[in-house]
Structure 1
């Protein structure tokens, strides 16, 4: 199997940056294109009675800063950054399909409260349903 395009989902936890470190150990800069994805959880946004433009601007700014930070750890790599509102697992699947991803690298737990104690629910869904390889970083 030749890996040319790698998807790395990023959340606000420090742990997700381990995925980037693993990617750098596995692939040289000229070997792969990296897609960094941050999903703004639409469930959390929908839980707010009124979503102001200022709120969405702040959330988008945070998302972009997370992606910029992750990109900064990949000097010399070809990187595409995507920030999108939606369900994390759904958007990971959509992005992997739309961007012809060969491999997903993600951590086993994310930033959610439950995720800190068990295999993350998003990671679990991706591993169970993905039709491409998924590398899970502890």
Structure 2
């Protein structure tokens, strides 16, 4: 297992996914790709406000990735950071299918997990599970 893709969004679930991915990477001496996807559905705003919102999303993604990389400080040379934009589930599926990924690790729910936590898989994780052809590990 050469490369593990870990999707991150800053939620507790994605933090648990990072810990599990790190554990697996140590056993198999794998490389880690930390992926954050920015959903670029921008609310109706004036042009200048839209630009500010877009740049804020990009900056937040970079900050999130840099913070996540610190969890892998003992294996920093094996960690790559990727920030994409678009539909989150679609981008995760496309990235994993178009790159040499051996395993995708993601949290069962993201930041928008609602009141029914524990009953259902989050909507993005659900879409990825049903749309991906690569092995995937969902972490609760």
- TM above 0.5, one fold? yes
Structure 2 spans left out of the alignment, 5+ residues: none
**Cα RMSD over matched residues?**
2.0
TM-score of the aligned structures, taking structure 1 as reference length: 0.86
TM-score of the aligned structures, taking structure 2 as reference length: 0.85
Aligned CA distance change for structure 1 residues 74 and 55 (closer, same or farther; 3 Å) = same
1:1-138 equivalence runs, <5 A: 3-28=1-26, 31-43=29-41, 45=42, 47-50=43-46, 51-75=49-73, 76-77=75-76, 78-114=78-114, 117=117, 118-138=120-140
- How far 1:29 moved relative to its partner? 8.1
Deviations 1:6-35 (Å, cap 9, x if unpaired)? 111111313211111101222218711111
Structure 1 spans left out of the alignment, 5+ residues: none
- How far 1:112 moved relative to its partner? 1.4
Cα distance in 2 for partners of 1:70, 1:98 equals 23
- How far 1:42 moved relative to its partner? 2.1
Deviations 1:33-74 (Å, cap 9, x if unpaired)? 11111111123x2x3333533222211111111111111101
Q: In the comparison of the two structures, how many residue pairs are matched?
A: 134
Cα distance in 2 for partners of 1:90, 1:42 equals 13
Cα distance in 1 for partners of 2:86, 2:27 equals 30
Q: Name whichever structure is richer in helix by fraction.
A: 2
